[in-house]
């Protein structure tokens, strides 16, 4: 027993020593890098700032590897904040200094983290030089690289008619990486709003349609209201609820019949009916008063609360309905009506 335990102790002592040495060595090396970055950063920030505000200023040319690393980091951070001509100028500088080429090369690297960073850099730099690399990135084996490239293309004005290609890439990733896909749809909504309509079509997968309905509503893309109305009638409750909320945000009065039908449909999930009640209130069409009043008196807690809030938004007919509810025999109906009136 002693021999076995002694061997274990020796092994553990070795392991502990190894971790301790690695920890100290990594700290020393990391500290050196960090100090070098800290020393370089203010100068590079100042030079880049001067370059951006003064059109006649000469651009800093980073030479050493450390300078290039810090320059890239500062410039990419700035690109996320900048808009318009300043952004275009900085992106052009990065292309001129070879950072775009570096990233295009790194997009073919074996290391996943290198490819992810490269995709992020290319998506931020944008421009015609990055389009073909970003398109290639759509077939990468890593979902994050694919998503970043798709987002970069969606935001890249030089990419031309790229929507079909992005949609094909999105079909798979809406299931595998829904968060990344949502970021792409959000980018499409901001830069190519018409493309969101293509994602709402019935032949598209339900996951993508849900994302598109959310983006269309939140970005108030009223041109897609007809497609959202069709989505309210879809069998998928997630999609119908998202579309109902979106129609409420847009304020689409033509959606009232579909929303009323969804509200009255007992076979629908509570989420769809609550979203429909809220949307009817936001749209402000008084034809919804009777249906909402009925829900206020007869349905479950969440739907009743939503109906009361909706009625409060419908002007005097809604207020009259809430006042009538104050005479209800049920205390919770009276309280909901009172709270809605108070609001």
Partner 1 sequence: VNIYVTIVFAYFLAFVLVHTVVLVLAGFELNRHVGRGSETGLRRIVRSPLAPPISVLVPAYNESAGIADSVRSLLALEYPALEIVVVNDGSTDGTLDRLITVFDLRRVERPTPPFLPHAAVRGVYAPRGRLSLLVVDKENGGKADSLNAGINFAAYPLVCAIDADSILEQDALVKTALPFVDDPKRTIATGGMIRVANGCRIERGRVLEARLPRAVLPMFQVVEYLRAFFGARTGWSALNGLLIVSGAFGLFRKDVVIAAGGYRTDIVGEDIELVVRLHRTMRDQRTPYRIVYVPDPVCWTEAPETARVLRLQRRRWHRGSLETLLIHKRMLFNPRYRTVGMLALPSLLLFDVLGPVIELSGYAVATTAWILGALSPETFALFLAVSVLYGLFLTLGAIALEDATFGRHPGWDDLGRVLLFALGENAGYRQLLHLWRLEGFWQLVRKGEWGAMERTGFAGADVVGPEAEVGLP
| Contact residues: partner 1, CB under 8 A | 1-2, 5-6, 8-9, 12-13, 15-16, 19-20, 22-23, 26-27, 30-31, 34, 80, 112-113, 116-117, 120, 144, 147-148, 151, 177-180, 182-184, 186, 214-215, 218-219, 301, 305, 332, 335-336, 338-339, 342
The least CB distance from residue 241 to partner 1, in Å, is 12
Of the pair 260, 281, the CB lying nearest partner 1 is at 281
Give whichever of 119 and 256 is closer to partner 1, judged by the CB atom: 119
Q: How far is the CB of 61 from partner 1 (least distance, A)?
A: 25
Structure tokens at 230: 């069709």
What are 116's two structure tokens? 């992810």
Cβ atoms of 284 and 313 within 8 Å: the answer is: yes
What is the smallest separation between the CB atom of 16 and partner 1, expressed in angstroms? Answer: 5
Shortest reach from residue 23's CB to partner 1, in Å: 5
Are the beta carbons of 163 and 196 closer than 8 angstroms? no
Three-state DSSP string of 204-266: CCHHHHHHHHHHHHHCCCHHHHHHHHHHHCCCCHHHHHHHHHHHHHHCCHHHHHHHHHHHHCC
Smallest distance, partner 1 to C-beta of residue 91, A:
16
Nearest to partner 1 of 52, 154 (CB atom): 154
Residue 184 CA to residue 174 CA, distance in Å, equals: 10
**CB of 287 closer than 8 Å to CB of 321:** no
CB-CB contact of 229 with 263 (8 Å) = no
Structure tokens at 311: 């009625």
* Beta carbon of residue 55, minimum distance to partner 1 (angstroms, whole number): 28
Interacting residues of 237 by C-beta distance below 8 A, sequence separation 6+: 268, 269, 271, 272
- Asked if 297 and 307 count as a contact pair (C-beta separation under 8 A), the reply is no
Comparison of 135 and 245: residue with beta carbon closer to partner 1:
245
Provide, rounded to whole angstroms, the least separation between the CB of residue 221 and partner 1. 12
Determine the angle formed by the axes of helices 206-218 and 163-176, rounding to 10 degrees.
110
**CB of 152: closest distance to partner 1 in angstroms?**
10
The answer to whether the Cα torsion of 296, 301, 305, 306 is positive or negative is negative
Q: What whole-number distance in Å separates Cα of residue 126 and Cα of residue 79?
A: 10
Nearer to partner 1, 113 or 139 (CB): 113
Nearer residue to partner 1 within complex by CB, 38 or 46: 38
> Distance of CA 90 to CAs 106, 130, 134, 293, 308, Å?
21, 15, 19, 58, 52
Residue closer to partner 1 (CB basis): 123 or 260: 123
Residue with Cβ nearer partner 1 (27 or 168) = 27
């Amino acid at each position: 027993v002693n021999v076995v335990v002694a061997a274990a102790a020796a092994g553990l002592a070795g392991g502990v020593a190894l971790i301790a040495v690695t920890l100290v060595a990594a700290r020393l090396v990391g500290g050196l890098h960090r100090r070098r970055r800290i020393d370089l950063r203010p100068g590079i920030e100042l030079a880049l700032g001067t370059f951006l505000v003064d059109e006649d200023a000469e651009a800093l040319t980073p030479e050493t590897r450390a300078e290039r690393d810090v320059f890239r980091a500062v410039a990419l951070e700035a690109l996320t904040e900048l808009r318009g001509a300043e952004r275009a100028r900085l992106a052009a500088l990065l292309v001129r200094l070879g950072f775009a080429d570096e990233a295009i090369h790194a997009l073919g690297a074996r290391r996943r983290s290198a490819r992810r960073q490269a995709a992020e850099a290319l998506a931020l730099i944008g421009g015609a030089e990055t389009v073909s690399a970003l398109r290639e990135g759509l077939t990468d084996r890593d979902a994050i690289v694919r998503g970043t490239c798709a987002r970069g293309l969606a935001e890249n004005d030089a990419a031309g008619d790229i929507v079909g290609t992005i949609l094909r890439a999105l079909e798979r990733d809406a299931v595998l990486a829904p968060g990344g896909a949502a970021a792409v749809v959000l980018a499409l909504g901001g830069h190519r709003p018409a493309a969101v309509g293509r994602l709402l079509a019935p032949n598209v997968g339900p996951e993508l349609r849900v994302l598109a309905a959310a983006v269309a509503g939140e970005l108030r893309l009223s041109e897609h209201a007809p497609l959202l109305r069709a989505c309210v009638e879809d069998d998928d409750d997630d999609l119908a609820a998202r579309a109902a909320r979106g129609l409420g945000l847009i304020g689409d009065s033509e959606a009232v019949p579909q929303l009323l039908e969804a509200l009255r449909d007992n076979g629908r999930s509570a989420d769809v009916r609550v979203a429909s009640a809220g949307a009817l209130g936001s749209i402000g069409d008084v034809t919804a008063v009777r249906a909402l009043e009925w829900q206020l008196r007869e349905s479950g807690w969440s739907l009743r609360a939503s109906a009361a809030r909706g009625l409060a938004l419908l002007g005097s007919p809604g207020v009259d309905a809430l006042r009538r509810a104050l005479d209800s025999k049920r205390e919770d109906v009276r309280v909901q009506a009172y709270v809605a009136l108070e609001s």
